[in-house]
Amino acid sequence: MLDINNIYKNFGDLQVLKGVSTHVEKGEVIVIIGVSGSGKSTLLRCMNLLEEPTFGEVWMEGKLMTPPDPYLHFDVIRASKTYQKLVGGGLSDDEAIRKIKDEDLLKEKHPKTEGPTYAALLKKIYDENGIDINLGRQKMGMVFQNFNLFNNKTVLENITLAPIKIGKQRLKDAKKRGEAPDRTPDDVVREANEKAMKLLARIGLQDKANVYPSTLSGGQKQRVAIVRALAMEPDVMLFDEPTSALDPEMVGEVLDLIRDLVKDGMTSVIVTHEMGFAKEVADRVIFMHDGVIAEEGTPDEVFNHPKNPRCKEFLSKVLY
Amino acid sequence: MKKMSKILCMLLSVAMLLSLAACGSSASTAAKGEANLAAAYDKYLAGFSTNGTNGTLTVAMSPDFAPQEFYDVAKSGDDAIVGFDVLLSNYLAQELDMNLVIKPMSFDAVLAAVQTGNVDIGISGFSWTYERAQNYEISDYYIAGDNETEQSIICLKENEGKFTKPEDFVGSKIGYQGASLQQILVEETFGDLDVDISNVFSDLGTAVEALKAKQIDFLAVAHGNGESIIASANDSIAFTGFDFEVDEIYKNNVCLLQKGNTELLEKVNAALAKALENDYYTGWYDACKVYAGVSTLDELGFDDEGNKITE
Amino acid sequence: MTFLTNIANILAKYWQVFLIQGIGYTLLLSLIAVAGGAFFGSLLALAKRSKLKILKAIVTIIVEVVRGTPVLLQLYIGVFVFPMIIPKLSSMPYIYSVSIVLIINSSAYVSEIIRSGIEAVDPGQMEAARSLGLTHTTAMLSIVLPQAVKNILPALGNEFIMVVKETSLASTFFVGELMTAYLKVKGYTYLTMECLAIVGVLYFALTYILSKILKSLERRMKAHA
């Protein structure tokens, strides 16, 4: 469902991600753990391109969300002038490709300088596979550490804003194609409101529909933020330390809601420090260290039989 | 709500002040004797005519200097700027057969306006100075009555008439307007004596306040300006009795033109020569003195309708 | 006492110059400057946030130069240099050039107000909107800008009050505002302190009333948040 290939992310001179690849299956629950600064949150934010990866590709349901990364496509490398020069200089195909990759020789920012075939190939890959970022993001719900509810909107408006804006746009496009002749924008609004009220009922906050977020408790805010993401009916949910900013007594209600979602089969990627919760819900646990995946496996493998010394050290500090 | 009503109260009181002031003014404009201040001036002004065949003549002046150029707030628009230099401008426009546009601005800005060619002429009571002659085309002289020919020093009333020669001023502070003829005269006259001549003012009004506040003992002014100042100061100020010896080149006013604009300069000089020959200036200047409230019509030989009485 | 009598006499005779023309032109110029400044300032703020580096650089230079030079100097340039570039201006009264300068000046300040107002909105708000699949424009219009306005409006009010005082410099070209009224009347009466006192009280009344009105507007806006 969600593929990330060889993701690098630099902030200026600081390398935060140094080549991360993983694959998220439909219905799978992945928990990412690791010390602060290990790149877990950055990895999550690269998945829906809130951070644009410096190198690497993100594929959502078979569609490419990032620009194509020339280093990941051998045929593209072979079409480049740099490659031809190296091979002309006597290197074998294998050696040339390795040298280009290791030494970052492609001038990927200026595709024209690598010759027309190279540029055309890159364009072809994107034309065939590329997807509008906004479309891709609509399939991914994101929950933030600091909730990020819209301060200028009521709870209900927070939930319905995106479904209404995007629903109306989709309806307009459909009408242009001659589809959905009977649906009106008012239907979109009505349906969005009905669905939002149902979601609020699910978390028991119907009576808060018309208040502003500033009046809610932290736990309530985060639960609203979760159903706001759910209102877009995403295929995968990304949780970025959803309980880190909460008072301890409110952690439970938020974890309960996530647990419910996961039980209903929601594909999820969760960055968290709640190890007990991770053990309980995860199908797969990823331990990040220094910008790479240092350990990966089932909760039993990672928590009970860690192989990586860094992972052991980390777990010994957080589990007691 | 309480706050809003407070604000409303404030707005109302301002409105009341306005209406009070309105009542006051209707009474004062009707007051006798003031109505014909402009009579002689208006007669002269009405005498000028032009067809505007040669385009527009733009004149820059700094109208905060009665009686040379000032505002008559009872008039509106461009007519509100009045004074001797306005009559001269109208005369020049007539002689050059051009339409007149007067652009008011500060004294410094007049120089900039002429230099950049934004206006054709600067007529604002300019005296000839060496520096100005370097950077501008300067017209022949015109005579703004006794305003420039007599340069005097004013003081507080109690010192009236006690100072008549330069040595009398030793140990005192004399003020003057910067970049003016008075500055040159003060420096020439008192430069070698033990007189504090470091009191430069950017405008005459401020200098008068300094005199009243005794920050300076004396103020060097053109005689005409001095009369205006004394007239509006309820006689708390008077002439010292000392008059400067004024060099011939400083005695009169000149017009400034942009450097190189000799074509217009020649026409202006021709018109000025004609005015001098026919002695237009005295009448104009007397009319402006009446207008500025320095003298009355009667004193300067006008009848009540503003006609000059000729023997 | 003579001081007060003089003031009373001046007001009785010249109240229209101060209260009608003076205040009228001061408010008119301030309104033009701030309204124009708000419009062009928004454009400048947008340009400054744009990805085009050249545009960004040009706008930065304009804003810095305008904010780093005195208004009086800008007025001189506006009145004497603009007509060389736009010949049509030379036949128009100075108030047009003066207005243009005031608009440019206020645009530079307002653009900074808007920029910092937008930057003061928690970046998480934009991220949350983008993560839902909303476009940058939609997120900006429905989430960030409405919140930025709450930061911007009070600062814009202050700018208005600043501009009311700055219009006084336009008196260099006798455009008719309060300070011109002072020049006109004291040029005739030579009663400098009296005229200054009148103008000073009027400026203070203007800015005081304006700031009270703005404060009450601010309170109302906060009540709705």
Per-residue pLDDT tens over the stretch C146-177:
999 888 988 999 999 999 999 999 999 999 89
Mean pLDDT of B33-60: 86
Top residue of C122, C132, C140, C153 to mutate, by most chain A CBs within 10 Å, is C132
What is the DSSP-derived secondary structure letter of residue A68? Answer: P
> Distance between CA atoms of A70 and A106, rounded to whole angstroms?
8
> Distance between CA atoms of A222 and A148, rounded to whole angstroms?
9
Residues in Cβ contact with B75 at an 8 Å cutoff, skipping those fewer than 6 apart = B82
Predicted local confidence at residue B129, as pLDDT: 84
Top residue of B37, B69, B118 to mutate, by most chain C CBs within 10 Å, is B118
Which has more confidence, B65 or A109? B65
Chain C residues with beta carbon closer than 8 angstroms to that of A150: 125, 128-129, 143
Å between B291 CA and nearest CA of chain C:
10
Any CB–CB contact under 8 A between C122 and chain A?
A: yes
Contact C12 B18 (CB under 8 A): no
Chain A residues with beta carbon closer than 8 angstroms to that of C125: 148, 150-151
Asked whether residue B207 carries a pLDDT value surpassing 60, the answer given is: yes
Any CB–CB contact under 8 A between C200 and chain A?
A: no
Number of Cβ within 10 Å of residue B248's Cβ equals: 9
Question: What pLDDT band is residue B21 in, cutting at 50, 70 and 90?
Answer: very low
> What DSSP letter does each residue of C93-159 carry, written as one string?
-HHHHHHHHHHHHHHHHHHHHHHHHHHTS-HHHHHHHHHTT--HHHHIIIIIHHHHHHHHHHHHHHH
Any CB–CB contact under 8 A between B26 and chain C?
A: no
Contact C15 B64 (CB under 8 A): no
Asked whether residue B115 carries a pLDDT value surpassing 70, the answer given is: yes
Any CB–CB contact under 8 A between B99 and chain C?
A: no
Predicted local confidence at residue B180, as pLDDT: 80
What's the whole-number average pLDDT of chain B? 83
Å between C107 CA and nearest CA of chain B:
25
Predicted local confidence at residue B10, as pLDDT: 55
| Contact criterion met (CB below 8 Å) for B18 and C19 | yes
Predicted local confidence at residue B3, as pLDDT: 53
> Distance between CA atoms of C164 and C160, rounded to whole angstroms?
6
Which has more confidence, C22 or B128? C22
Question: What pLDDT band is residue B23 in, cutting at 50, 70 and 90?
Answer: very low
Q: Tell me the pLDDT tens digit for each residue of A162-186.
A: 999 999 999 999 999 988 788 899 9
| Contact criterion met (CB below 8 Å) for C97 and C78 | yes
Q: 């140094």: which residue's tokens? A: A18
Nearest Cβ partner for C190 among B18, B25, B205:
B205
Asked whether residue C144 carries a pLDDT value surpassing 50, the answer given is: yes
Reference A49, options A123, A139, A124; nearest CA is A139
Predicted local confidence at residue A9, as pLDDT: 93
Q: 């390795």: which residue's tokens? A: A98
Contact C128 A165 (CB under 8 A): no
Tokens linked to B297: 């019509």
Contact A149 C225 (CB under 8 A): no
Predicted local confidence at residue B16, as pLDDT: 47
Å between B24 CA and nearest CA of chain C:
5
Mean pLDDT of A227-245: 94
Contact A162 C134 (CB under 8 A): yes
Which has more confidence, A273 or B295? A273
List the chains bordering chain B where 3 or more Cβ pairs fall under 8 Å. C
Give pairs for A79-85: CB < 8 Å, separation 24+.
Answer: A79/A114, A79/A115, A79/A117, A79/A118, A79/A121, A80/A106, A80/A114, A80/A115, A80/A118, A81/A113, A81/A114, A81/A115, A81/A118, A82/A106, A82/A107, A82/A114, A84/A115
| Contact criterion met (CB below 8 Å) for A89 and A81 | no
Any CB–CB contact under 8 A between C68 and chain A?
A: no
Which has more confidence, B96 or B145? B96
Q: 């400083």: which residue's tokens? A: B250
Number of Cβ within 10 Å of residue B206's Cβ equals: 16
Contact B22 C184 (CB under 8 A): no
Nearest Cβ partner for B118 among C17, C80, C205:
C80
Any CB–CB contact under 8 A between C93 and chain A?
A: no
Asked whether residue C225 carries a pLDDT value surpassing 60, the answer given is: no
> Distance between CA atoms of A299 and A30, rounded to whole angstroms?
10
> Distance between CA atoms of B288 and C209, rounded to whole angstroms?
41
Chain C residues with beta carbon closer than 8 angstroms to that of B70: 184, 187-188
User: B221 - beta bridge partners?
Assistant: B152
Any CB–CB contact under 8 A between C48 and chain B?
A: no
Predicted local confidence at residue A84, as pLDDT: 86
Predicted local confidence at residue C1, as pLDDT: 67
Any CB–CB contact under 8 A between C151 and chain A?
A: no
Å between C3 CA and nearest CA of chain B:
11
Q: Tell me the pLDDT tens digit for each residue of A43-72.
A: 999 999 999 998 899 999 988 998 888 888
Q: What Å distances lie between residue C31 and A10, A260, A274, C99, C175, CA to CA?
A: 48, 58, 57, 10, 15
> Distance between CA atoms of B104 and C13, rounded to whole angstroms?
22
Which has more confidence, B33 or C110? C110
Å between B311 CA and nearest CA of chain C:
32
Any CB–CB contact under 8 A between B208 and chain C?
A: yes
Asked whether residue B211 carries a pLDDT value surpassing 70, the answer given is: yes
Nearest Cβ partner for C131 among A135, A137, A150:
A137
Helix spans in chain B (H): 2-29, 39-47, 84-96, 107-116, 130-135, 146-149, 181-190, 204-212, 223-232, 262-277, 281-291
> What DSSP letter does each residue of B217-286 carry, written as one string?
SEEEEEHHHHHHHHHHTTTSEEEEEEE----GGGSSEEEEEETT-HHHHHHHHHHHHHHHHTT-HHHHHH
Task: Lowest mean pLDDT of C93-97, C125-129, C218-222, name the range.
Answer: C218-222
Question: What pLDDT band is residue B74 in, cutting at 50, 70 and 90?
Answer: confident
What's the whole-number average pLDDT of chain C? 91
> Distance between CA atoms of B143 and B125, rounded to whole angstroms?
10
- Rg (C-alpha) for chain B, rounded Å, is 22
Chain C residues with beta carbon closer than 8 angstroms to that of B18: 15, 19
Asked whether residue B31 carries a pLDDT value surpassing 50, the answer given is: no
> Distance between CA atoms of B65 and B70, rounded to whole angstroms?
6
Any CB–CB contact under 8 A between C16 and chain B?
A: yes
Mean pLDDT of A180-200: 92
> Distance between CA atoms of A173 and A195, rounded to whole angstroms?
22
Mean pLDDT of C30-53: 92
Chain B residues with beta carbon closer than 8 angstroms to that of C90: 118
Reference C13, options C173, C197, C188; nearest CA is C188
* Strands lying side by side in the sheet with A140-143: A140-143, A236-240, A267-271, A29-33, A284-289, A292-297
Contact C187 B63 (CB under 8 A): yes
Q: Tell me the pLDDT tens digit for each residue of B282-304.
A: 889 889 988 888 877 777 778 87
Asked whether residue C224 carries a pLDDT value surpassing 80, the answer given is: no
Give residue B227's Cα distance to chain centre. 11
Q: Tell me the pLDDT tens digit for each residue of B267-280.
A: 999 999 999 899 89
What is the DSSP-derived secondary structure letter of residue A154? Answer: -
| Contact criterion met (CB below 8 Å) for A292 and A19 | yes
Side chain identity at A270, as an amino acid letter?
A: I
Predicted local confidence at residue B297, as pLDDT: 79
Predicted local confidence at residue C209, as pLDDT: 94
Indicate the length of chain B as a whole number. 311
Asked whether residue A114 carries a pLDDT value surpassing 60, the answer given is: yes
Task: Lowest mean pLDDT of A83-92, B10-19, B78-87, C61-70, name the range.
Answer: B10-19
Q: β-strand A140-143 against A236-240: which pairing, if any?
A: parallel
> What DSSP letter does each residue of A256-317 carry, written as one string?
HHHHHHHHTT-EEEEE-S-HHHHHHH-SEEEEEETTEEEEEE-HIIIIIS--SHHHHHHHHH
Any CB–CB contact under 8 A between C124 and chain A?
A: yes
Contact B118 C212 (CB under 8 A): no
What's the whole-number average pLDDT of chain A? 91
> Distance between CA atoms of A204 and A217, rounded to whole angstroms?
14
Contact A162 C147 (CB under 8 A): no
Question: What pLDDT band is residue C91 in, cutting at 50, 70 and 90?
Answer: confident
Which has more confidence, B38 or C126? C126
For the entire predicted model, the pTM comes to: 0.77
Asked whether residue B24 carries a pLDDT value surpassing 70, the answer given is: no
Q: Tell me the pLDDT tens digit for each residue of B196-205.
A: 999 898 888 8
Question: What pLDDT band is residue A278 in, cutting at 50, 70 and 90?
Answer: very high
